[in-house]
A and B are shown apart, each in its own frame.
Chain A
Amino acid sequence: MLGVIYLMGLTSQSTGISVNREQFNFPTAGNQPVIALAGNPNTGKSTLFNALTGLRQHTGNWPGKTVLQARGSFSHDGCRYSLVDLPGAYSLLAVSVEEQVARDFICFARPDAVIVVVDATCLERNLSLVLQVMEITERVVVCVNLIDEARRKNINIDAHKLSTALGLPVVATAARSGEGLNRLLDVVARVVHGKLKPEPKRVQYPAEIETAVSLLEAKLKGVWDGELNTRWVALRLLEGDINMVEFLAGDRDKGKIVAVREVLA
């Protein structure tokens, strides 16, 4: 509660498509790379955040504790990074305010890397968020946290197999004791500086959807190449994601974005 919480500046301007980092309350000074922490509720994101930044964002063992995003920074190998602790979300379908906040940040603030923190003791449920995040950006590092708890419960995670299956770097950590954090930072730094290029193996959908996606994607390519992942936008348009549709159609006064503004104002 002590001044590390920053409100996200989701004002009417920032709902435009050219949303940039300043509108997510990022200082322009220094051009520090921005790293986002995403993950299901109660997977230890805030503990990891504190361990990395030395800040004291309040942690607590209950889901939904981080309602806002906290922001801090840390140094690794002589380079300074900004770190954003996103609210816990089970998915990026944007059904809750937390999910919307997380999705908008990953999508429009375009962080230089996203660390998706997953709970080693219930990997399966946590993986769906990873799969969704890597549809938006390829710069994803999976942090299999609570590995100590998993060991106690006799659950072994084969990080190598997981990494191959996802096409993403995977690091096992125990944020509470600091285990694996250095390795995590090494990997994140390599991803940020382009020395490691994850090649996510994206989810394949039924043929009917894939066909529609490729048709739509072709048309989207000319519009936001490099700004938004066109496959992801195509999928959202196809499933009629109300927020996305209204958002892209420029109808900024409707839908959930209003709700976010109301909550975070």
Chain B
Amino acid sequence: MRNCRTPLEPLVEEARKLAGGRQDAFREHIVQSIYHTAEQIAAGSVIRETGGRIDWDRKIDNILTSPVWGFPIMFGLLAVVFWITITGANYPSDLLAEGLFWVEARLTALFVAFNAPDWLHGFLVLGVYRGVAWVVSVMLPPMAIFFPLFTLLEDAGYLPRVAFNLDGLFKKAGAHGKQALTMSMGFGCNAAGIIACRIIDSHRERLVATLTNVFVPCNGRFPALIALAAIFTGGAVAASLSSLATTLAVSGLVVLGIVLTLLVSWLLSQTLLKGIPSSFTLELPPYRKPQVGRVIVRSVLDRTIFVLARAMIIAAPAGGIIWVLANITVGDASMLTLMAGWLDPLAWHMGLDGFILLAFILGLPANEIVLPVLIMSYVSGGALMELNSLADLRHLLVEGHGWTWLTALCTMLFFLCHWPCGTTLYTIRKEQNSWRWTMAAALIPTVVGIGLCMTVNYLVRGLGLV
């Protein structure tokens, strides 16, 4: 630290004397002069042509942020985005899976041709490759559709309107209105949402927003939620209605996530993080025609590929590890079965099974791999099978492992609330510079998730619904 060349205290003292205790008045005069000058200059150089123009922005705002229509439109838009994602993702997803598993068959043939040892083929093809293939075929299509749609809404200027609509609710929860923005960013990626929390000035409110960001499902979790919802909700109704049913189920989960965000924010600001919400001004920016082409290119290239690459980098070693765990036997059970066995008691109370809970634990590095890990651990235990479509997946879960709709519901609920992924935790640690709050960020959603699953499980079983 270099010292200043001359002592400055005398100057500060001098200034205080000159202002003569009227520093606040000085400040006010200074600000006033600046604004007055700005006004004069603007008046001299701006010509507004008066015409019978309609202020469309204001007219649209009156509807989008109206007390009556604001909420229905918001949830309607959300549902439309999901519906397009779900309907649009089906076809390419099947196609990708078919292609990738065709490649797997060729790879196997290659290994056989070279007389490669079984364990090498198992580790590389059935472990690493299959893990990556699942991530790609399950995740890529919904992401490639959801990201651009979300970015279009953001580009058009809709997000601040969401914040405007939700402001009252967040304020009632003792949180900052801008938390609606950070929450919206969380839909893309919770780690990005946590970084966005910097827009909240007050430390208390920033913490509330940070600790609750994980309650909205990120892109790593959407594909799994969509797949499970498609199997168990979509499958339960007529084919023509299945997309609609899936959409409603996923939208319902998202709404539940928002409700939980508000509830936990309220609890936090009543207990650990007491305080009153600070006020702020939020500018509603003009609507801008989104740059459709650029948005699509950018969100596919940047976000989708980025998230996918991250998932694959993690899925590849995870696939290998799963294969190893499934093939190292202690006594007559594989390591994987043993570990799942340890988790079984807790999992049972939560309406899950040990494998599901294990998949969540092994999925700590990235939520994207939870479902692939689960499938791999189910599959690697018994006869190997290829999963080319959601129907195969349904068969594996229901016939092979005794899933009911309750299992699916509890899994989805736990997807919604459990510890944040490794990247998010790392980001929280970096942003808050505190292990204590990082732990809290992991514990809070986990406790909520376990409680929620147990309640639903006991309620449904108690009422004899399954």
Residues of A within 8 A of B (CB): 1-2, 12-13, 16-18, 41-42, 56, 58-64, 67-68, 93, 96-97, 121, 123-125, 127-128, 130-132, 149, 153-159, 161-162, 165-166, 176, 203-206, 209, 212, 215-216, 219-220, 222-223, 234-235, 237-241, 245, 248-250, 252, 262-263, 265
Contacts and interface: CB of A to CB of B under 8 A. Distances in A.
Contacts of B298: 56
Which among A62, A127, A162 has the greatest number of chain B C-beta atoms within 10 A? A62
A179 to B, nearest CB: 14
B151 to A, nearest CB: 8
Contact of A237 (B12, B282, B288): B12
B19 interface: yes
Contact of B291 (A13, A176, A204): A176
Contacts of A153: 53
Contacts of B51: 154
Interface of B: 1-6, 8-9, 11-12, 14-16, 18-19, 23-24, 26-27, 29-31, 33-35, 37-51, 53, 151, 154-157, 159-160, 163, 178, 181, 189, 192, 195-196, 198-199, 201, 203, 282-283, 285-286, 288, 291, 298, 302-303, 306, 433
A16 B39 CA distance: 36
Contacts, number: 187
Given A1-B303, A62-B160, A68-B198, 10 more contacts: A12-B1, A42-B285, A58-B302, A67-B196, A123-B45, A154-B49, A154-B53, A206-B33, A237-B11, A239-B23
B18 A263 contact: no
A203 B18 contact: no
Contacts of A249: 8-9, 12
B15 A67 contact: no
A241 to B, nearest CB: 8
Given A97-B201, A156-B46, A245-B12, A124 B39 contact: yes
B34 A128 contact: yes
Contacts of B53: 153-154
A123 B35 CA distance: 12
A123 B26 contact: no
Contacts of A64: 178, 181, 199
A238 B47 contact: no
Contacts of A42: 283, 285
A219 B3 CA distance: 19
Contact of B12 (A60, A132, A203, A248): A248
Given A1-B192, A62-B154, A238 B45 contact: no
A16 B159 contact: no
10 A-B pairs with least C-beta separation: A240-B23, A237-B15, A124-B42, A127-B38, A239-B27, A162-B45, A61-B157, A154-B49, A67-B198, A161-B45
B307 to A, nearest CB: 10
Which of B8, B15, B43 has most chain A Cβ within 10 Å?
B15
A235 to B, nearest CB: 6
Contacts of B283: 41-42, 63
